[in-house]
Structure formats: C-alpha cells, structure tokens
C-alpha cells in the first residue's frame, strides 16, 4: 500500500511513519502545502493522511485539487479542529474520513485500512490473515472452512486487531473504537476483557491458532506467534 502523510508536526509525523511502515506499506511524507501539492499532482496513493493546518496553505484546498485532477486517492483528514463545519466541509470535498487529534495510532491505522479496503476491492471487502478470512461487508468469518459467529462488538474488535496486526493495541483505544470517544468512559476498561475473551474462545474453537496475547495489562497484541 502506498500512503502519503501530509503533516507539519515532525514528532507526530515520525510516529505515524514508524507505525505504518512495514508489512509491504510504502510511506511518503511531506510537511508543507507546496510539496504536498506537487506530490499529489505527480503520484497516486492508496491513502493520503491530510493535516488541515499546513504551513503555506489550507489543507482543504488540496482536497479540491484532488477532485479537479479526478484522482481516486483515499483521503483521511487529521485535524486539531474538532469542528463539525470542518468535518462536513472535508467530507463534502471528497475526504473519506475525519479523525480529530489527539488520536491513537491504532485507530488511525484501522481507519486507513478501512479506506484502502473500500477503495481497492470495491465491494469485495475481505481481510486475510493466515487461516482467518474476514469478509467485512458481509460480516462473515471463516477459519479453516469453519464459519465463526461473532457479535457485532467481537466482529469490530477482530477487524480492529487485524488492521493492527503485530501491534500492541491499548484497551483505551479499543474502548474508544467500539464505544466512541464521546462516551466519557471511566478509566476502568475491564469490561473489554469479556469481549476479548469471547472472541479468542470462538476463534480457538473454530481451529485457529492462538494469536491474541495480553501485553502488560495495558492492551493486547494480535499477530504471528
């Protein structure tokens, strides 16, 4: 996957690049409006991570530019502005999603993966991981030919894990992904444990290997053993 990160905050940019690089992903990055403008004109990307507040120009103009060039790049806006107007304007101009800073890298990855899946497979929205096959649009999971029945939350959790395979995902990030960050949850995310436990049990019963590991009590990691 080819990803362009347009972000002027160097520290944040480095983190995003580190998190996304690997697994066959190619990440490019620019830090100002002019360079971003040049990149999107010359190349095509599976997904563009766009920060709205850029030195040298307004990020939303890049969206207009993409539209003019009739490009099909997926665009995820990352912005410090938690404003409904910006969000609607961005989505109107053809952005696929909108994420407000601060965010969890795992959430960013999950959203980018979802955008790329939607763009690339046009309806045939399937994730493969070793013996596990997940048909995201049909909400079907297949392990070694066995159908696995999951609840909505368990399904979302599995897709989230698969988007962040081999990464440690915090309980906090999982809770925000499943219940939304508006919920003002308490800091006690133990109730997530039940869902993780059930998901793991169902996958094991269907014959998958045990890919889920708890990490330091902070979160979980789903990945190759």
Partner 1 sequence: MKLSNRYNKANILTSIVVLIITGIIYYVVIHFILTEKLDRDLAVEENEINQYVNTFHKLPLPASYLDQQISYKTLSGIISEREFLNTIYFNPKERENEPGRSLITVVHLGGKTIEVTITKSRVESEDLIRIILLITLGITVVLLLSLLLINRFVLSSLWRPFYSILNRMKAFEVSRMDTIEQEPTKIDEFNELNKSVNAMAERVRQDYKELKSFTDNASHEMMTPLAVINSKLDSLLQTESFTEQQGALLEDIYHATGRLSRLHQSLLLLAKIENNLIPDFQNIELKEMVEAKTRQFQELLEKDRLILTKDLAPVEVKMSRYLADVLLNNLFSNAVRHNVSGGHILIKLNQQGLTISNSGNPGHLQTKIFDRFSKSVESEGMGLGLAITKQICNLYGFCIDYHEESDEHVFTVYFGD
Q: How far apart are CA 201 and CA 129, in angstroms?
A: 17
- In the chain, what is the straight-line distance between the N-terminal and C-terminal CA atoms, in Å? 24
Q: 153 phi and psi, to 5 degrees?
A: -65, -40
Instruction: Considering the complex, state which of residue 104 and residue 143 has its C-beta at the smaller distance from partner 1.
Output: 104
Of residues 69 and 218, the one with the C-beta less far from partner 1: 218
- 156-170: b (≥16 Cβ within 10 Å) or e: bbbbbbbbbbebbbb
CB of 142 to partner 1, least distance (A): 27
Tell me the closest approach of the beta carbon of residue 186 to partner 1, in angstroms: 5
Residue closer to partner 1 by CB (options 55, 102) is 102
The arrangement of strands across the sheet holding 26-30 comes to 26-30, 2-6, 47-51, 74-79, 97-100
Q: Could you tell me the smallest distance in angstroms from the CB atom of residue 137 to partner 1? A: 22
Which residues make up the interface to partner 1 (CB under 8 A)?
9, 11-12, 15-16, 18-19, 53, 80-85, 100-106, 153, 167-168, 170, 172-173, 179-188, 190-192, 194-195, 215-219
Query: Rounded to the nearest whole angstrom, what is the least distance from the CB of residue 50 to partner 1 in the complex?
Result: 14
């Amino acid at each position: 996957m080819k990803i362009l990160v347009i972000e002027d905050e160097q520290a944040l940019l480095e983190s995003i690049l580190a998190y996304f690089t690997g697994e066959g992903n190619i990440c490019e990055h620019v830090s100002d409006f002019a360079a971003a403008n040049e990149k999107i004109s010359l190349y095509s990307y599976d997904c563009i991570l766009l920060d709205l507040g850029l030195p040298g120009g307004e990020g939303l103009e890049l969206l207009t530019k993409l539209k003019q060039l009739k490009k099909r790049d997926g665009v995820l806006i990352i912005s410090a502005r938690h404003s409904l107007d910006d969000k609607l304007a961005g989505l109107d101009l053809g952005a696929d999603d909108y994420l407000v800073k601060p965010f969890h890298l795992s959430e960013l990855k999950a959203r980018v993966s979802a955008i790329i899946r939607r763009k690339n497979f046009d309806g045939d929205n399937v994730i493969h991981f070793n013996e596990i096959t997940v048909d995201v649009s049909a909400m079907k999971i297949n392990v070694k030919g066995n159908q696995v029945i999951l609840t909505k939350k368990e399904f979302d959790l599995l897709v989230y894990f698969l988007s962040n395979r081999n990464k440690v995902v915090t309980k906090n990030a999982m809770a925000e992904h499943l219940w939304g960050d508006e919920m003002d949850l308490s800091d006690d995310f133990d109730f997530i444990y039940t869902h993780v436990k059930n998901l793991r049990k169902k996958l094991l019963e269907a014959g998958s290997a045990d890919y889920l590991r708890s990490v330091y009590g902070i979160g979980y990691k789903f990945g190759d053993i």
